[in-house]
């Protein structure tokens, strides 16, 4: 979870122990406890605050094979970005302001006062980035459309210049043989909609459906994958409860409303997609995280974390119901009023939200431990993102849980990555090579155990604007010098390119 920058204007947020952005219940056995102790032993793996290059042993004892692990024919290998994080050109061609333009301009919200300008200047440099993607052998590229470029005030007629930009981007990708994955909402809500309540109000869901319909009409001829909403949890919790992201609100009831209205927006956009007759497929992007009880005999706390951070999103979109243990005043729960939250869901809403999707996009970064009450406990080494407890086997556990607990649906991993261990431009990232290797191995393992996993996108293609961290935290497999905008492939890009070419992940 990005740590909110100190905001001198507001009292420190009152909330339980910093809950990770991602939590997911997978009951830990004694091995989890042993791993917890090993990982936290001074001088143990990752003791330096970032994962050791030789990954910690898998708690289950599973050891990857000594030979390459192959992926199914047609497995989709991609990389991901988002508009506000890479585009720049925030006041060009009719783009209106988003909540992130407003938030980043506020003192103390983003490190060094960084904003989404110039980011990685991809609004202008996308042709060269597509050449770079081709050189790497990417089969797909995930990007997001900036809603304020299409509807500068969040409603009304489409801005032709905005549509024109994304038409050119999509055509260039297709011409290069790269499948577009188009994210409709990656947190840059038009400020004009925020001014009238944003995601805390139901009307924004209807506005989102109108916006989505404009894009399906404009780009629906393309065989693309469409993601309706990126990580509604992070935008709801970090943006409306912790206050560390735009729009910078600090009210759990507003966060709960943002949960429901983003999910309703997802459902309405899915309906619009079906009605449009657009080509391609549609799904939602959820960030999920294995959260292991440190006491296998008492998983109540982990169940609460699982409810508030995972089932609050998986259940409505896949089962058509909300869990009854996600909201409450206990550690691990979203401390919003359950009655008020339930009243937001009008008759028919859950049917709309659970409209059949073509795929479920999951975004995986790491794990956490949870005590018997619901407080987060560190049980694995962290990366330079303090919320990211790194454990590759957590990805396997997550995928198996989805296989066992939810109706069968094609799954795509649309974000998976780790930041550099320096804020300077670097191309030497052996830790990212090992992160990718071990996570690809766990993905191949899950496919071998019957998980319908169809693709894997690395976060991120490029170093970019990392929200409240600004440009300090670099997640790209390609380095960006933000002074010159020069791109340089990192060691991990070469590793990834080899994996794609072989459609297999080699052993360490
Ligand atoms: C997210 C966002 C990305 C982040 C990435 C690293 O998942 O939070 O989709 O925009 O940059 O996850 O934190």
Q: Is the CB of 82 inside a 6 Å radius of any atom of ligand 1?
A: yes
Quote the ligand 1 centre to 479 CA distance (angstroms). 17
Q: Is the CB of 188 inside a 6 Å radius of any atom of ligand 1?
A: no
Quote the ligand 1 centre to 277 CA distance (angstroms). 31
Quote the ligand 1 centre to 328 CA distance (angstroms). 27
Which is nearest to 227 in space by CA: 255, 179, 269? 269
Average pLDDT over residues 383-391: 96
Q: At residue 63, does pLDDT exceed 60?
A: yes
pLDDT of residue 57: 83
Q: What is the pLDDT of residues 128-153, one digit of tens each?
A: 999 999 999 999 999 999 999 999 99
Q: Is the CB of 387 inside a 6 Å radius of any atom of ligand 1?
A: no
pLDDT of residue 53: 58
Dist. CA 143–CA 500, nearest whole Å? 20
**Which residues, 6 or more positions from 493, have their beta carbon under 8 angstroms from its beta carbon?**
136, 477, 478
Average pLDDT over residues 251-270: 98
pLDDT of residue 54: 58
**Which residues, 6 or more positions from 363, have their beta carbon under 8 angstroms from its beta carbon?**
22, 230, 231, 285, 286, 287, 288, 413, 414, 415, 416, 459
Dist. CA 186–CA 227, nearest whole Å? 9
Dist. CA 419–CA 470, nearest whole Å? 13
| Residue 231 falls in the annotated catalytic set | yes
pTM for the full predicted model: 0.91
**Which residues, 6 or more positions from 9, have their beta carbon under 8 angstroms from its beta carbon?**
107, 108
Show the tokens assigned to 452: 């319908």
Place of tokens 């508030």: 308
Task: For ligand 1, atom 10, name the residue with the nearest CA.
Answer: 82
Average pLDDT over residues 492-508: 98
Average pLDDT over residues 424-452: 97
Quote the ligand 1 centre to 268 CA distance (angstroms). 24
**Closest ligand 1 atom, CA of 467?**
11
Place of tokens 């065989």: 223
Q: Is the CB of 144 inside a 6 Å radius of any atom of ligand 1?
A: no
Which is nearest to 267 in space by CA: 183, 147, 154, 351? 351
Show the tokens assigned to 230: 């990126």
Catalytic residue (choose from 87, 393, 415, 421): 415
Please state, for a pLDDT cut of 90, what percent of the chain lies above it: 89
Task: For ligand 1, atom 5, name the residue with the nearest CA.
Answer: 459
Mean pLDDT of the chain: 91
Domains of the chain by residue range: 21-505
Task: For ligand 1, atom 11, name the residue with the nearest CA.
Answer: 466
CA distances from 24 to 16, 46, 208 (A): 17, 22, 28
Quote the ligand 1 centre to 80 CA distance (angstroms). 10
Q: Is the CB of 475 inside a 6 Å radius of any atom of ligand 1?
A: yes
| Residue 117 falls in the annotated catalytic set | no
Q: What is the pLDDT of residues 9-62, one digit of tens each?
A: 433 433 333 333 333 444 443 344 444 433 333 333 333 344 445 567 899 999
- Domain 21-505 listed as CATH 3.50.50.60: no
Tell me the CB-side half-sphere exposure of residue 370, using CA atoms within 13 A: 37
Average pLDDT over residues 356-361: 98
pLDDT of residue 71: 98
**Which of 184, 228, 231 to mutate for ligand 1's pocket (most ligand atoms within 8 Å of CB)?**
231
Find residue 479's DSSP bridge partners: 488
**Which of 286, 363, 476 to mutate for ligand 1's pocket (most ligand atoms within 8 Å of CB)?**
363
Q: Report the first-to-last Cα separation within the chain, whole angstroms.
A: 29
Quote the ligand 1 centre to 232 CA distance (angstroms). 12
Q: Is the CB of 364 inside a 6 Å radius of any atom of ligand 1?
A: no
Dist. CA 19–CA 2, nearest whole Å? 11
Quote the ligand 1 centre to 471 CA distance (angstroms). 13
Q: What pLDDT band is residue 3 in, cutting at 50, 70 and 90?
A: very low
Tell me the CB-side half-sphere exposure of residue 185, using CA atoms within 13 A: 33
**Closest ligand 1 atom, CA of 388?**
13
Q: Is the CB of 464 inside a 6 Å radius of any atom of ligand 1?
A: no
Q: Is the CB of 384 inside a 6 Å radius of any atom of ligand 1?
A: no
DSSP H or E segment with residue 443: helix 430-448
Burial (CB count within 10 angstroms: exposed 0-12, middle 13-18, buried 19+), residue 102:
middle
Dist. CA 370–CA 75, nearest whole Å? 34
Q: Is the CB of 90 inside a 6 Å radius of any atom of ligand 1?
A: no
**Which residues, 6 or more positions from 306, have their beta carbon under 8 angstroms from its beta carbon?**
23, 24, 25, 291
Q: What is the pLDDT of residues 439-480, one digit of tens each?
A: 999 999 999 999 999 999 999 999 999 999 999 999 999 999
Q: Is the CB of 230 inside a 6 Å radius of any atom of ligand 1?
A: yes
């Amino acid at each position: 979870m990005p740590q909110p920058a100190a905001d001198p204007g507001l009292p420190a947020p009152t909330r339980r122990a910093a809950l990770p952005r991602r939590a997911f219940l997978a009951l830990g056995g004694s091995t989890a406890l042993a791993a917890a102790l090993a990982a936290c032993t001074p001088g143990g793996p990752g003791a330096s605050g970032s994962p050791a290059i030789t990954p910690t042993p898998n708690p289950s004892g599973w050891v990857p094979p000594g030979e390459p692990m192959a992926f199914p024919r047609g497995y989709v290998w991609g990389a991901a970005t988002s508009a506000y994080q890479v585009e720049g050109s925030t006041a060009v061609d009719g783009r209106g302001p988003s909540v992130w333009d407003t938030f980043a301009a506020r003192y103390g919200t983003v490190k060094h006062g960084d904003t989404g300008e110039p980011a990685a200047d991809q609004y202008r440099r996308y042709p060269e980035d597509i050449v770079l993607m081709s050189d790497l052998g990417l089969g797909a590229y995930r990007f997001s459309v900036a809603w304020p470029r299409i509807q500068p005030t969040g409603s009304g007629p489409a801005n032709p210049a905005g549509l024109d930009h994304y038409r050119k981007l999509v055509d260039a990708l297709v011409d290069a043989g790269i499948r577009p994955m188009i994210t409709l909402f990656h947190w840059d809500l038009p400020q004009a909609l925020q001014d009238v309540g944003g995601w805390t109000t139901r009307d924004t869901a209807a506005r989102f459906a109108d916006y989505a319909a404009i894009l399906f009409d404009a780009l629906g001829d393309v065989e693309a994958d469409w993601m309706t909403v990126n990580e509604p949890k992070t935008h709801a919790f970090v943006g409306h409860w912790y206050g560390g992201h735009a729009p910078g609100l600090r009210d759990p009831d507003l966060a709960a409303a943002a949960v429901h209205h983003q999910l309703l927006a997802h459902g309405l956009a899915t309906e619009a997609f079906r009605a449009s007759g657009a080509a391609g497929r549609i799904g939602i992007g959820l960030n999920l995280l294995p959260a292991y009880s440190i006491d296998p005999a008492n998983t109540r706390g982990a169940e609460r974390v699982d409810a508030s951070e995972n089932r609050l999103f998986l259940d409505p979109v896949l089962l058509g119901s909300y869990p009854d243990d996600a909201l409450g005043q206990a550690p691990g729960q979203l401390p919003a009023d359950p009655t008020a939250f339930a009243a937001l869901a009008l008759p028919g809403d859950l049917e709309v939200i659970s409209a059949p999707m073509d795929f479920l996009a999951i975004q995986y970064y790491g794990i956490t431990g949870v005590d018997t009450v619901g407080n987060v406990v560190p049980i694995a080494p962290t990366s330079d993102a303090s919320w990211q407890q790194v454990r590759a086997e957590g990805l396997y556990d997550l995928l198996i849980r989805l296989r066992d607990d939810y109706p069968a649906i094609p799954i795509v991993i649309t974000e998976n990555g780790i930041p550099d261990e320096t804020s300077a431009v670097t191309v030497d990232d052996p830790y990212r090579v090992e992160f990718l290797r071990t996570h690809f191995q766990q993905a191949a393992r899950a496919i071998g155990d019957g998980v319908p996993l169809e693709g894997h996108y690395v976060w991120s293609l490029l170093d970019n604007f990392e929200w409240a961290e600004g440009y300090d935290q670099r997640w790209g497999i390609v380095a960006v010098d933000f002074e010159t905008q020069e791109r340089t492939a990192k060691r991990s890009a070469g590793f990834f390119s080899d994996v794609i070419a072989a459609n297999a992940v080699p052993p360490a």
